[in-house]
């Protein structure tokens, strides 16, 4: 990882409002889809390595499911908060860059790269190095869970699809509601839809749609790989700092897994904002997050 890339991640995720947002998010616990997958893939005596652990959300939740968790992050402030949040004594924290893991070969049963960790690794060679590292530290039979944002993702689409979702699932009894399910307030839901509409970046959507044929030209003229952009807002925090971000195509994420030596056990679109409810098929196709389970044979 170059110093510039490292600095932008540290600046962005080290700022107080970003850390606070991740502490709040950690308190909400696992998403419904994460609960299902983790319960299936993590066993009592497993050693789990959590890459990009943030404020400790998944480390805290999976500690009870396994024998040991190593929770790793690049950002000191995130790790400090995680240490305050995670009370289980089988969780150990490591400050390191996930591109070079300070972990022994064949020593880990499960690697988690939850909440789009991989999107933060820009430059394709670095993603390959990271995936090779994950393969190296896993025992044979070891498993990986990761989610990545695909071409459809930007903050505008998130708002737009969330607005559509909320309107479709408006709950008539507001007392029973927890975000991000339908608020029951059609005005607010419509607001989210409109925010999404105006935040949609037609330029990035066109570039993304076009990338399969134009990626070489984009690289030549901008120096960026197709799918590269900068994100200024992750979680619920607005950030003055941008960090590099890479959106994946299906082919790209599957090649990355195959080239590192993994078998893909599962790959599906997930609707991040939906919690427990299921969206109609036509909207699920518009999901911008892909969840994968990989296996080292």
Ligand X SMILES: C[S@@+](CC[C@H](N)C(=O)[O-])C[C@H]1O[C@@H](n2cnc3c(N)ncnc32)[C@H](O)[C@@H]1O
Under the rule (CB under 6 A), what is the footprint of ligand X? 1, 9, 13, 22, 25-26, 52-54, 57-58, 72-75, 78, 97-99, 114-117, 120, 234
Residue nearest to ligand X (CB): 54
- Least gap, CB of 206 to ligand X (angstroms): 26
- Least gap, CB of 174 to ligand X (angstroms): 27
Q: Which long-range contacts (CB under 8 A, 24 or more apart) does 275-284 make?
A: 275/31, 275/32, 275/178, 275/180, 275/181, 276/32, 277/169, 277/181, 279/165, 279/168, 280/168, 283/161, 283/164, 283/165, 283/168
Among the residues of the chain, which ranges form H helices? 3-14, 16-28, 32-41, 57-62, 76-85, 124-137, 155-168, 186-199, 202-222, 250-260, 281-284
The residue (of 54 and 182) whose beta carbon lies closer to ligand X is 54
Question: What are the phi and psi torsion angles at 232 (to 5°)?
Answer: -110, -15
d(CA 77, CA 194): 35
The kind and range of the H/E element at 265 are: strand 263-270
- Least gap, CB of 145 to ligand X (angstroms): 11
> Length of the chain in residues, anyone?
297
The residue (of 72 and 256) whose beta carbon lies closer to ligand X is 72
The residue (of 50 and 189) whose beta carbon lies closer to ligand X is 50
Contacts (Cβ under 8 Å, ≥6 apart) of 104? 137
The residue (of 16 and 187) whose beta carbon lies closer to ligand X is 16
- Least gap, CB of 166 to ligand X (angstroms): 22
Rounded to the nearest 10 degrees, the angle between the axes of helix 16-28 and helix 3-14 is 70
Work out the number of other CB atoms within 10 angstroms of the CB of residue 41: 21
The residue (of 4 and 172) whose beta carbon lies closer to ligand X is 4
The residue (of 26 and 289) whose beta carbon lies closer to ligand X is 26
- Least gap, CB of 1 to ligand X (angstroms): 6
- Least gap, CB of 202 to ligand X (angstroms): 26
- Least gap, CB of 130 to ligand X (angstroms): 7
The residue (of 129 and 167) whose beta carbon lies closer to ligand X is 129
- Least gap, CB of 217 to ligand X (angstroms): 28
d(CA 67, CA 186): 46
Residue whose tokens read 């959106």: 247
The residue (of 171 and 228) whose beta carbon lies closer to ligand X is 228
């Amino acid at each position: 990882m170059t110093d510039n890339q490292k600095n932008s991640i540290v600046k962005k995720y080290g700022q107080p409002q970003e850390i606070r947002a991740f502490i709040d998010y950690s308190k909400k616990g696992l998403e419904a889809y994460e609960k299902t997958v983790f319960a299936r893939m993590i066993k009592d005596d497993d050693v789990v390595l959590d890459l990009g652990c943030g404020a400790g959300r998944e480390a805290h939740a999976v500690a009870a499911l396994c024998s040991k968790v190593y929770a790793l992050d690049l950002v000191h402030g995130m790790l400090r908060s995680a240490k305050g949040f995670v009370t289980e004594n089988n969780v150990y924290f490591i400050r390191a860059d996930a591109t070079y893991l300070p972990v022994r070969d064949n020593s880990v049963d499960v690697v988690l790269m939850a909440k789009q960790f991989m999107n933060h690794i820009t430059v394709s060679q670095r993603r390959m190095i990271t995936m090779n590292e994950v393969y190296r530290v896993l025992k044979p039979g070891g498993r990986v869970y990761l989610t990545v944002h695909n071409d459809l993702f930007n903050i505008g689409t998130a708002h737009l699809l969330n607005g559509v979702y909320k309107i479709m699932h408006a709950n008539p009894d507001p007392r029973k509601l927890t975000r991000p399910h339908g608020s029951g307030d059609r005005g607010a839901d419509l607001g989210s839809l409109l925010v999404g509409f105006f935040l949609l970046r037609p330029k990035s959507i066109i570039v993304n749609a076009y990338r399969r044929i134009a990626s070489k030209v984009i690289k030549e003229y901008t120096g960026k790989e197709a799918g590269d952009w900068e994100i200024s807002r992750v979680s619920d925090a607005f950030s003055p700092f941008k960090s590099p971000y890479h959106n994946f195509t299906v082919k790209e994420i599957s090649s990355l897994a195959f080239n590192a030596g993994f078998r893909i056990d599962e790959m599906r679109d997930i609707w991040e904002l939906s919690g427990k409810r299921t969206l109609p098929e036509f909207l699920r196709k518009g999901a911008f997050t892909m969840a994968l389970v990989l296996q080292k044979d």
